[in-house]
Amino acid sequence: MKRELPFSSSLAPVCSRYIDLKRALGRDYSIERRVLHSLDRFLSDSSNNFPDLTLRVFQQWCRTQEKLASGVRRSAMRTIYNFCLYRRRTEPYCFVPDPSLFPLPHQKIRPYIVSESDAAQLLAACSRLRRISTSPLRPEVIRIAIALLYTTGMRRGELLRLIVSDYDSKEGALLIRESKFHKSRILPLHKDMANEINRYLQLRREHHLPMSPETPLLWNRRGGGESYTGSGLGKNVRILFNLCAIRTAKGNPPRIHDFRHSFAANTLLRWYRAGVDVNAKLPFLATYLGHASIVSTYYYLQFIEPLRALASKRFGDHYEKLVAPPNSKRGRR
């Protein structure tokens, strides 16, 4: 793990306490720490040596961030804003930035919901990927990646960190080790997904490829035998989307993160079609996705057309009788 530089400005003690608190609550907070460290360096710079954070000092620091995209700048300014709110708990008169003056947020990207037919096309197209010296099982590796992303909704980083021993063939389950919020969880797999992994691991044995417990599940020869990188996986997934002519409404290939949205939306569709109590099931979905709160899960519940129709029908079935039809004679004289 890369060594973190200490804070050195007049705000160093409160910065350290703030980071310690966030990490004690389960947050990694590495990005936010880098933002606070940037402000800390600015305050303690010999040419500045500012004794405290004021509106003028904050504005000067913001100007040092102007080379960044507006969304990144807004995020950094929000980090300082949250830090100042924390500081105000014990220092009532300290400066707090006005968030209404921050750059406007970017419009959220509308996720592409990968359908069952899309997933089937992608899995079939994996066989068209060329085997290369650094990845002799490239078609099979990318097929496993697509299948896991679609059937589990796991995060890209969770997928790339999987090792052989994380898969329990007897239970048909995967161990996700200390992911976001430092939480580990076990993902039960559909039997078809478990069979996919079993066939893939057997193929690795037949090709005499590394099979030690610590070997990455998405193995390739780069770096002496490491997992695929995020960019490497992303490149292969884009190739598949292009081969299958799958595009978003704006004409772009979908993102890897769209598989996570797709898993959540498709799970809701299955529940509605099965007639189960969706509200009672949502905590299970939140746990499976590795969310600290069900509130985070709502972000992934896209109101796509089939889901809208099913939700509307269920509402009508339950409450239609409670809505009295208008009395055509009422009001006539």
Tens of pLDDT, residues 275-328: 888 888 888 988 898 887 787 777 766 655 666 555 556 555 555 666 656 564
| Distant-in-sequence, close-in-space partners of 123: CB < 8 Å, separation ≥ 6 | 143, 146, 147
In CATH, the number for domain 116-243 is 1.10.443.10
Distance set, CA 117 to CA 124, 137, 239, 265, 316 (Å): 11, 24, 17, 15, 30
Measured distance CA(11)–CA(18) in Å, rounded: 11
Query: Would you say 201 and 194 are in contact if contact means Cβ atoms under 8 Å apart?
Result: no
Long-range CB pairs of 224-229, under 8 A, 24+ apart, other chains included? 227/160, 227/161, 227/162, 228/135, 228/141, 228/145, 228/160, 229/160
Q: Domain limits of the chain?
A: 12-101, 116-243, 258-321
- At 209 the pLDDT is 95
- At 331 the pLDDT is 47
Query: Which residue has 């490497």 as its token pair?
Result: 232
pTM > 0.85: yes or no: no
Of 13, 8, 26, the C-alpha closest to 184 is 26
Q: For residue 245, is pLDDT > 90?
A: yes
The pLDDT of 202-225, averaged and rounded, is 94
Give tens-digit pLDDT for 90-106: 999 999 999 999 998 77
Per-position DSSP letters for 99-168, written without gaps between them: GGGSPPPPPPPPPP---HHHHHHHHHHGGGSPPBTTBTTHHHHHHHHHHHHHHH---HHHHHT-BGGGEE
Q: How confident is the model at residue 333 (pLDDT cuts 50, 70, 90)?
A: very low
DSSP label of 186: E
What 3-state class would DSSP assign to 226? strand
